[in-house]
Amino acid sequence: MSSTGILPGLTSSDADQFEAALKKFVDSRELPLYKMMAYHLGWVDQNGEPEPVVMQDRSHGHLVLSIANALGADIEAAMPYAVAVEMLYNFLLVHEDVQNANTERNNRPTIWWSWGPAQAINAGDGIHAMARISIFEQRNASGPASDPRNISLALESLDTATLEVCEGEYLDISYQERAAVSVEEIVSVARKHGALFGLSAKLGGIAATANDDVLDALYKFGTAVGAAQNLNIDLKALWPDEGAERNEVQRGRLQSKKKSIATAHAIENGTPTTRRRLGEIFMKRVLDPSDLDEVTGILAETDSKSFAEGRVKELIGEATEALNSMKIPAPQKESLIESSKLIAG
């Protein structure tokens, strides 16, 4: 999804309202630690001075609002949940930058590159804590949004999704040292990473006081969309958009030997020579650009890109099936289906 994109069903006013709520939540605290967070989120420079906003992907928060809107809830009632999931997403980004030694994100130096890994980990953990605090902001709401049962369910859902992503990250890292990883193992990990979008969809439903069946369907919808996006992120790292070069984050994922569904397919379906050569490459400590070129060449021989794109489409179909199981007016349903495609990329 484009970093400046707004999901169908939301207006530019909705997106502006969300950005203002997110900024107010961070700016309400004075310690320079929060200036580091504001820098990461794109509002200030490294000295904490305001600068033209660096627009970033806000699709997690936007999906909360889109779901709430589709189910007839007031967007204002969903705002603390949207802020919470966006903060959670950025906590994971800060830690990913440290883990993969990314020196840049969104064309700016990362927190760890600017202030060191210790402060980056501290800032990331602080962002995670603030995600949980945002959920408790619902105590100040009126009506069903302030129901302690809904707040408790939202908090449990956030922590469960965080654990799912951590499990996925653990498996990702463990797979780096394995030459052969199966397609289904890669898809399983993608679903764990996709739990963050599952959380986004579910929080939108909680804001709309949806019943348990609808919440389960929303979680399945969001998780399938998130899994599709996760697979696509790896594909775009292997095959950047035409005329574009790999950015720092993409290089970091590949050079750390991050396995993709395309490489898993090639290992499962390639010739013995192909499998042996991929194994030799992935047993290196760190991959260099020539290794990456050789990998993409091998993947072209096994038609692994087309296979991977097919699995992404299957996940979008799975997300659509989850929506079809709910009683949502046709225009809103079509809007969410279009959103799923935009998020998946």
Angle at 55 between CA 40 and CA 236, to 5 degrees: 90
At 157, is the pLDDT very low, low, confident or very high (cuts 50, 70, 90)? very high
pLDDT of residue 18: 96
Look at the block and give the residue holding tokens 């038609």: 303
- For the stretch 255-300, pLDDT in tens is 777 789 999 999 999 899 988 888 888 888 778 888 888 888 999 9
Model-level pTM?
0.91
The dihedral region occupied by 257, where left means phi > 0, alpha psi between -120 and 50, and beta the remainder, is left
pLDDT of residue 4: 44
Residue 54 near residue 106, CB atoms below 8 Å: yes
> Please, what is the average pLDDT of the chain?
91
CATH code linked to domain 12-344: 1.10.600.10
Distance between CA atoms of residues 117 and 110, nearest Å: 10
pLDDT(55) > 90: no
* DSSP output for 266-312: HHHHS-HHHHHHHHHHHTSSS--HHHHHHHHHHHHHTTHHHHHHHHH
User: Both ends of the chain: CA-CA distance in Å?
Assistant: 5
Domain boundaries defined on the chain: 12-344
At 229, is the pLDDT very low, low, confident or very high (cuts 50, 70, 90)? very high
pLDDT of residue 2: 39
Handedness of CA 262, 264, 268, 270 (dihedral sign): positive
Please return the burial class of 283, using the count of CB atoms within 10 Å of its CB with bins 0-12, 13-18 and 19+.
Answer: exposed
pLDDT of residue 210: 95
Distance between CA atoms of residues 343 and 199, nearest Å: 14
Distance between CA atoms of residues 289 and 76, nearest Å: 47
At 3, is the pLDDT very low, low, confident or very high (cuts 50, 70, 90)? very low
